Structure 1
Amino acid sequence: MPAKAAGRAVQPWYKKKRAVLPTGVLALFLAVGLTGCGSDGQDSADASSSQSASPSASEDIELAEATASADAEAAEEAEESARAEAEASEKAEADAQAAEEAEASQKAEEEALAAEEAAAEEARAAEEAESEAEAERGTLSQQNALRSAQDYLDYTAFSRTGLIGQLEYEEYSTADATWAVDRVEVDWNEQAAKSAADYLDYTSFSRSGLIDQLVYEGFTAEQAQYGVSQTGL
C-alpha cells in the first residue's frame, strides 16, 4: 500500500504524469553528448597514433644517422684512395724522370767516350800519316842514296840486288841503299833486257849462258829469261 504524505496520498511512480521535454532541447543534449564522446575518442586515437608514431620517428633518426655515418666513411675512403693514387702517380712520375735523367747521363757519357776514342783514333791516324810522310821523304842520307841510284840507272843497267850492292859499295848503309832502290822508278824486266844487250855487244853467249849470267848479276830467273828473249836468242 502506498504511503500517504501530509494528509494526501502519493501516487505511484508509474502513475505520475511525465514531463515532456521539447524536441529542440533533447536534440541539444544529444549533440553535446555525442561531441563529448567524439572528443574523448579523438584524443584516444591521437594518443594511440602518437604512441605508434614515436617508434617510427626514432627509427628514421637512427637510419639517418647510420646513412650519414656511412656517407662520411665512404667520403673518407674516397679521399684516402685519391691521396694514395696521387702519391702513386707522383712516385711514378719521379721514377720516370729519374730513369730519363739516368739514361741521358749514360748517353752523354757514351757520347763523350766515343768522342774521346774518335779523337784518339784521329790523332793516331795523323801520327801514322806523318810518320809515313816522313819515311817517304827519307833522311838526308836516304835522299842522297836515291839520287845516286837514279844516276847509276841513267848510264847502265842494274838488277835490284846489283844496284843495292853498288850503293853499299859507295858506303851507304844497307837500309839507306834498300830505301833508295825501292823508290826509284824502274822496270826491272827492261833492265834485264838492257844488261843482256850490253853483254852481247862485247862477247858471245848462248841463251842459257846469258840467262845464267843475268841471274848471277842479281836478276830473277823470270827477269833474265825476259831480257834474253828481247835479244832474239
Structure 2
Amino acid sequence: MTATAKHEGLEMRIQIATILVGLSLITACDSGNYKSTDEAPLEATNTSSGAENGDAAAEAEMVDEISEQQMLSGPQSNAVRSAKQYLSMTGFSKEGLIQQLSSDAGDGYSLNDATIAVDSLSVDWNENAAKSAKQYLSMTGFSCDGLIEQLSSSAGDKYTVEQATYGARAAGAC
C-alpha cells in the first residue's frame, strides 16, 4: 500500500469523525442539555434493563459510570459524549482518541480534559483495534506486518503493538 493510500484512508476517518462531531453539536444545541449531571438520571433510566434482569455486573457498571460522570467538569463531560460518539462509529486507539478530542483540527478540548474523559470510559482497545483493522481491509489490502504497522504507527492509528497485532489477527490479515 502506498503512503498516499494510507493518507487517504486516514483522511476519510477524520472526515467521518468531523461529521459526527457536527451532528453531536447540533443535537446538543437542539436539546439544550449540556451537563452530564442532567443526563445521569436519564441514562440510569435508559440503561437499567440489564439490572432488571438480575445482572448485578451491569448495575454496578451503570452506577460507576453515573458516579464518574457526576465528578467530571462540563468540558470533560462533553468530551466523554464526543468520545462515545466517535467510538460508536469507528475504531480508535486511546492515544488517537485523546488526540482527536484535543487537537485544533478535531474537537479542541484541552489535552487534560480529553485525557480525563477518555480515562473515565471503559473501552476494549483490542476490539477497537480489530474494528480499525477491518475498516482498513474493507478499503484496501494489507499484509499482516503492514496492517500492524499502520495500526501502531505514530503517524497512523497509535495503537500499542500488542493491540495492533490483536486487531490484525482478528480482522484476518495474519
Tell me whether the two structures share a fold, i.e. TM-score over 0.5: yes
Matching residue within 93, 108, 116 for 1:159: 93
Q: How far does residue 185 in structure 1 lie from its aligned partner after superposition?
A: 2.2
2:166 alignment partner AA: Y
Find the aligned partners of 2:125 and 2:83 in 1 and give their Cα distance: 14
Matching residue within 104, 108, 112 for 1:175: 112
The answer for the alignment partner of 1:223 in structure 2 is 163
User: Tell me, what secondary structure is at the counterpart of 1:185?
Assistant: coil
Find the aligned partners of 1:180 and 1:188 in 2 and give their Cα distance: 15
Find the aligned partners of 2:73 and 2:149 in 1 and give their Cα distance: 37
The answer for the alignment partner of 1:17 in structure 2 is none
1:149 aligns with 2:86: no
- Which blocks of at least 5 consecutive residues in structure 1 are unaligned? 1-132
- Write the mapping of 1:3-82 to structure 2, written as runs, cut at 5 A: none
Would the aligned equivalents of 2:69 and 2:77 in 1 still touch at CA under 8 Å? Answer: no
2:165 alignment partner AA: Q
CA-to-partner distance for each residue in 1:62-89, whole Å, 9 max, x for gaps? xxxxxxxxxxxxxxxxxxxxxxxxxxxx
Q: How many residues are treated as equivalent by the alignment?
A: 101
Name the % identity. Answer: 51
The answer for the alignment partner of 1:108 in structure 2 is none
Find the aligned partners of 1:220 and 1:206 in 2 and give their Cα distance: 18
Q: TM-score, normalised by structure 2?
A: 0.55
Find the aligned partners of 1:135 and 1:196 in 2 and give their Cα distance: 30
Find the aligned partners of 2:82 and 2:108 in 1 and give their Cα distance: 12
1:187 aligns with 2:127: no
1:166 alignment partner AA: Q
The answer for the alignment partner of 1:19 in structure 2 is none
- Name the one with the larger helix percent: 1
RMSD of aligned Cα (Å): 1.6
Find the aligned partners of 2:142 and 2:68 in 1 and give their Cα distance: 46
User: Tell me, what secondary structure is at the counterpart of 2:83?
Assistant: helix
The structure number with the bigger radius of gyration is 1
Q: How far does residue 173 in structure 1 lie from its aligned partner after superposition?
A: 0.2
User: Tell me, what secondary structure is at the counterpart of 2:131?
Assistant: helix
Higher relative contact order (CA 8 A, sep 6+): 2
Q: TM-score, normalised by structure 1?
A: 0.42
User: Tell me, what secondary structure is at the counterpart of 1:152?
Assistant: helix
